[in-house]
């Protein structure tokens, strides 16, 4: 018998596909610095923080910068990224997301967001989903990025439930590792080859329902 009481959702790659906007903004930055990187490289940026992403990208370009300049570059990338997410609308919500959120809330489960992004509130407002979350924990609150479990443990704490009463929905391997380290169940969103360790892997939230939660 499942004792799940709460669902914690990653944002990018689970609720909306903002990865495409991150990619465009990072690519623009890399191009201005005189190099390029591939969509394959971009996969490695999923779920990790803005500053860690910048470090990886500068490494790929063989470019070194002072800490002050790195801050300027991250700020510039975020400005371009925010210009794009400012144009987001509810049609960009990934299939099944609103329906699943509404059904779990109607059934009495609590809901939280557990994202590395510092822009999560803006995105949830733009796609009109903010009211479906009891608690939001994101990159503004945490001091340690995924795979550290902090973001999900803070979510459980905010919801007043135990970690083992939570299931996390996550598309990035760093996020699956964070959820497992938190002692939570994990539903991977993506491919089972990549998301090893997840209790279940599906292609999207349109493939899960209340029965899925009971089976965990
Ligand atoms: P920001 P998630 C993550 O969101 C993205 O997957 C990752 O690519 C990004 O670097 C990170 O947010 C930080 O985003 O620059 O907006 O603070 O998947 O944890 O929801
Ligand atoms: Mg993600």
pLDDT at res. 40: 87
> Strand 6-9 to strand 166-170: parallel, antiparallel, or no bridges (unpaired)?
parallel
pLDDT at res. 39: 85
Residue % of the chain over a pLDDT of 90 = 94
Q: What is the pTM of this model?
A: 0.94
Q: Count the neighbouring beta carbons within 10 Å of the beta carbon of residue 23.
A: 19
- CA 35/CA 62 separation, integer angstroms: 9
List the catalytic residues: 10, 12
Helix, strand, or coil (residue 112)? strand
Written out in words, the top-level CATH class of the domain with range 19-85 is mainly alpha
The tens digit of pLDDT for each residue in 55-77 reads 999 999 999 999 999 999 999 99
The tens digit of pLDDT for each residue in 16-64 reads 999 999 999 999 999 999 999 998 898 889 888 999 999 999 999 999 9
| Candidate CATH numbers 3.40.50.1000, 3.40.50.150, 3.40.50.2300, 3.40.50.2000; the one for domain 6-17+92-214 | 3.40.50.1000
Domain ranges in the chain? 6-17+92-214, 19-85
Distance (angstroms) between ligand 2 centre and the Cα of 17 equals: 9
Q: Is the CB of 170 under 6 A from ligand 1?
A: no
The alpha carbon of 102 is separated from its chain's Cα centroid by a whole number of angstroms, namely 19
Atom of ligand 1 nearest to the CA of 139: 17
């Amino acid at each position: 018998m499942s004792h799940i009481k709460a669902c914690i959702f990653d944002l990018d790659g689970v609720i909306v596909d903002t990865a495409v906007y991150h990619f465009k903004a990072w690519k623009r930055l890399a191009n201005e610095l005189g190099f390029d990187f591939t969509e394959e490289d971009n996969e490695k940026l999923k779920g990790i923080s803005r500053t860690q992403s910048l470090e990886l990208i500068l490494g790929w370009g063989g470019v070194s910068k002072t800490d002050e300049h790195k801050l300027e570059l991250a700020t510039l990338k975020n400005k371009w990224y925010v210009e794009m997410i400012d144009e987001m609308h509810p049609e960009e919500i990934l299939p099944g997301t609103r329906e699943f959120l509404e059904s779990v809330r109607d059934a009495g489960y609590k809901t939280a967001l557990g994202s590395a992004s510092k822009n999560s509130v803006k995105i949830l407002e733009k796609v009109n989903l903010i009211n479906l979350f009891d608690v939001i924990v994101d990159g503004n609150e945490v001091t340690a990025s995924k795979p550290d479990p902090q973001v999900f443990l803070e979510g459980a704490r905010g919801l007043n439930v135990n970690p083992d009463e939570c299931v996390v929905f996550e598309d990035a391997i760093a996020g699956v590792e964070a959820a497992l380290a938190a002692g939570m169940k994990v539903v991977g969103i993506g491919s089972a080859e990549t998301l090893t360790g997840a209790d279940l892997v599906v292609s999207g939230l349109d493939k899960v329902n209340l029965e899925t939660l009971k089976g965990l």
